[in-house]
Amino acid sequence: MTNYPKTCALMARGREFLGTDYAILCGAMSWVSERNLVAAISNGGGFGVIACGAMTPELLDAEIGATRALTDKPFGVNLITMHPALFDLIGVCEKHGVGHVVLAGGIPPKGSVEAIKAFGAKVIVFAPTLALAKKLLRSGADALVIEGSEAGGHIGPVSTSVLAQEFLPELAAEFVVFVAGGIGTGDMIAAYLEMGASGVQLGTRFACAKESIAHPDFKKAFFRAKARDAETSVQVDPRLPVIPVRALKNKGTEAFTAKQREVAIMLDEGKVDMGEAQLEIEHFWAGALRRAVIDGDIEGGSLMAGQSVSLVKEEEPVAEIITKLMEQSEAALGRR
Ligand X SMILES: Cc1cc2nc3c(=O)[nH]c(=O)nc-3n(C[C@H](O)[C@H](O)[C@H](O)COP(=O)(O)O)c2cc1C
Binding site for ligand X (CB under 6 A): 27-30, 32, 51, 53, 78, 104, 147, 150-153, 180-183, 201-205, 207, 304-306, 308
From the CB of 266, what's the least distance to ligand X, in Å? Answer: 31
CA distances from 1 to 8, 146, 322, 326 (A): 10, 30, 17, 14
- Work out the burial of residue 171: count CB atoms within 10 Å of its CB; fewer than 13 is exposed, 13-18 middle, 19 or more buried: buried
Would you tell me how many other CB atoms lie within 10 Å of the CB of residue 185?
17
From the CB of 275, what's the least distance to ligand X, in Å? Answer: 26
User: Which residue, judged by CB position, is nearest to ligand X in the bound state?
Assistant: 203
The smaller minimum CB distance to ligand X, of residues 183 and 240, is found at 183
Tell how strand 245-248 and strand 230-232 pair up.
Answer: antiparallel
Instruction: Find out whether 302 and 285 touch, Cβ atoms under 8 Å.
Output: yes
From the CB of 268, what's the least distance to ligand X, in Å? Answer: 34
The smaller minimum CB distance to ligand X, of residues 8 and 180, is found at 180
195 sits in the region (left: phi over 0; alpha: psi -120 to 50; else beta) called: alpha
From the CB of 90, what's the least distance to ligand X, in Å? Answer: 16
H helical segments located in 71-155: 86-96, 112-118, 130-138
From the CB of 200, what's the least distance to ligand X, in Å? Answer: 9
The smaller minimum CB distance to ligand X, of residues 78 and 323, is found at 78
The smaller minimum CB distance to ligand X, of residues 208 and 267, is found at 208
The smaller minimum CB distance to ligand X, of residues 183 and 193, is found at 183
From the CB of 252, what's the least distance to ligand X, in Å? Answer: 14
The smaller minimum CB distance to ligand X, of residues 171 and 200, is found at 200
User: Which residues have C-beta within 8 Å of that of residue 176, sequence separation ≥ 6?
Assistant: 13, 14, 17, 142, 143, 144, 198, 199
